[in-house]
Structure 1
């Protein structure tokens, strides 16, 4: 009976070590894929979301200012024609 226990203990240790190796391999592959993905994104020269949002807000403000300036110009033109 003690021989069976030793076999099962040994088998249990081997299985635990195999699980540890598999987990380590999984983490290593995960890290490699993540770093490769980050490298690809960096090479694409993408804009950060915060920069995009700031630029979009600036464009909206300038668009409103341009619309107001166009209205002012049209108003000035109409007053010149009236004279």
Structure 2
């Protein structure tokens, strides 16, 4: 009976050791995958949030300026259409 108990204890120690080793391998694999992902993503040409917001603000300002210039052009075209066309002299 004592021999069976010792064999069972040895088997439990073996399984616990294997489980600990597998858990360690899993943690190392996860850390390696995270490291590779960060390296890969870092190599891509992403912009920061601040840069994105700055460009977005510049685009909005340019859009507002274009709308303002379009309104001025429409007013000038309306004014030019309202004045009678000058007839060339000597024709």
Aligned length: 82
**Structure with the higher helix share, 1 or 2:** 1
Q: Which residue pairs with 1:62 in the alignment?
A: 62
Q: Which residue pairs with 1:51 in the alignment?
A: 51
- Name the CA shift for 1:21/1:68 in 2 (closer, same or farther; >3 Å): same
Calculate the TM-score normalised by the size of structure 1: 0.77
Q: Bigger radius of gyration, 1 or 2?
A: 2
Q: Which runs of 4+ in 1 moved over 6 A?
A: none
Calculate the TM-score normalised by the size of structure 2: 0.72
**Which residues of structure 1 form unaligned runs of 5+?**
none
Matched, 1:74 2:79: no
